[in-house]
Structures are given as structure tokens and as C-alpha cells.
Amino acid sequence: MVITDQAFSDNNEPPVLRRENVQVKQGENALKLDQVIPAQGDNASLSLFILIDDTLDPRIGTNLNDLRDFINAQPASTQVGIGYMSNATFQIAQNFSVDHALVSKSLRLPRGRLSTMDSPYLSLISLVKSWPQEKVRREVLMLSDGIDHLHGNRSIRVSTMPGISVNADSASATCQRYGVIVYSIYAVGAGRLGRNAWEAQMGQSGIAKITDETGGEFFALLYQNAVTFKPYLDRLQKIFENQYYVVFQAVPGKKVGLQRVDISTSVPDADIAAADKVWVDSK
């Protein structure tokens, strides 16, 4: 698993995590911890996919320069890809590349077009399932309002959180299954639903659920576009710089599937963010 020590600020660096001060539990079982490896140096490789909702209000365009600057500032160890979500899937604007100038040029305004088939959660699932397996960090930055036009809160209320699309649950489980961490910046959607406070609240809740359960973070300024994305992107960069690989031996279950794990540390003031579950083989 990849975890983050988020105990950083502008004035200090977070404490260093090591094998001897990190604990992993699966249920009541303390697991054997093999390694805690900083995602730095030879282990700094990162695959970052930026997933933009094509149903967003095109007025988000003033924030795209912040995103371009963020992409261009990435280290050589980070490959970046860009795609646009629509009709429950996504279209690649630029495949993964370490040519960050090339990647940043592929950014365009969202089209602001709506259909009853639009679902950011199904688009995310489509991306994660098509993502080739790599022994590097795999992380997603989503720009979306989280509103599921296909299976939204108006038609389905069977999620573990009432009012949130059932597809949010599926997207969270899929990301945890494949070890993908999700971050998201809220942006206002086009059309009547994008201006509806209730829809925006449910959309934010769905996205926040996924980011929290995968070990990521959700950034929002209530139900409006932030004047600038720079503070969010600066924080995201600090997150990338304070991540670790945690290698441990999970206990196989009766059948293959996701198992809950809890990662903690004895280091004072550390603040660990990690996925709720990990995929474990059967006995």
C-alpha cells in the first residue's frame, strides 16, 4: 500500500516513518510489517492521471493555468496523463508522458454538455480498470462536481450513505481493489443541476467518500469554484513528496477480496492517510 504522512506545514517537515514505528492491523490481527519505503529517490516514480469532467461549466477555464503550472512543475520521475469524462467513460487527451510541456498543452475547456448517461464514478471505474498494472504509485486527480446524471440521488438511494449514488461505492471499491489513490477538486457543473445546492452537496459527498476511502483528499470551497486552484495543488504536491510504500503480510480470507486494514504509528504528531482496505488472496 501507499500511505501519506500529512503532518506537514509551511514551517516544518513531517516526522520520518520507519519500519520500527509503523503498525498494521487487519481486524484484531497485528500483521508482520516487512518494509516502509519512502517514495523518493529510486522509488519516486509516480503515474498521475488528471481526469476532468466534461460536464463542468466552461467558466472553470480561468483555473486551467494553475493546472498547467502544476503539471509543468512535476519532477522527471512523474508521468502525467489527461482525460475527459463523459457518457460514463472517458476519452484520453494525452497518454502518460514525462514531457510535461506536451501534457499541459493538451488541457482544454470542458464542453459543458450534459446527457443522462454522464457519471463521473463510472468514468473513474473505466479508467482504473483500463490502467496497466505498474509497480509505481498510481494516483488520480479528478475535477468534477460529483453529480451522477445516470444513477444520481433522484433515482437510487441504496448506497451506504443515503442520497449518494450507488456508483460512488463501486468506484471506491474498484480504486481500493487496484491500489489507486484519488484526489479531487470540486468545480461547478453546467446546467440547472450544477446550480442546485442539494445536488452539489450529494455530488461532493460522493467524491469525498471515494477520496477518503482510497487515502486521498477532497478540496472544495463550498459549492463554488475556487478563485485559484494553486493552494490545493501546492498541498497535493506536498502530499506526493511525503508518501511511503508499506509492505506487509495480510491474512488470507475464506475468499479473495477486499479486507479492512488499519495503519498507525507511534511517532508523535504524525498524521497518516491510507486506504481503508487492501485486496487479499484467499487461503
Q: Domains in the chain, start-ordered, CATH in brackets?
A: 2-40+245-280 (no CATH), 43-239 (3.40.50.410)
Decide if pLDDT at 61 tops 80.
yes
pLDDT at position 161, please? Answer: 44
DSSP the chain: -EEEE----SS-PPPPP-GGGEEEEETTEEPEEEEEEES-GGG--EEEEEEEETTB-GGGGGGHHHHHHHHHT--TTEEEEEEEEETTEEEEEEEEES-HHHHHHT---------TT--HHHHHHHHHHHSPP-SSEEEEEEEE----SSS-TTT---SSSTTS-HHHHHHHHHHHHTT-EEEEEE-PBSHHHHT-HHHHHHHHHHHHHHHHHHT--EE-BTTB--S-SHHHHHHHHHHHTTEEEEEEEPPPBSSSEEEE-EEEE-STT--EE--SEEEE-B-
The model's confidence at residue 157, banded by pLDDT at 50, 70 and 90, is very low
Is pLDDT of 154 > 90? no
What's the pTM value of the predicted model, to 2 decimals?
0.93
Using one digit for the tens of pLDDT, what is the confidence trace for 254-268? 899 999 999 999 998
The rounded percent of the chain whose pLDDT value lies above 90 is 77
Q: What is the structure's pLDDT at 222?
A: 87
Say whether pLDDT at 38 is over 60: yes
When pLDDT is cut at 50, 70 and 90, the band that residue 199 belongs to is confident
Q: What is the pLDDT of residue 192?
A: 77
| Residue, of 22 and 193, whose pLDDT is higher | 22
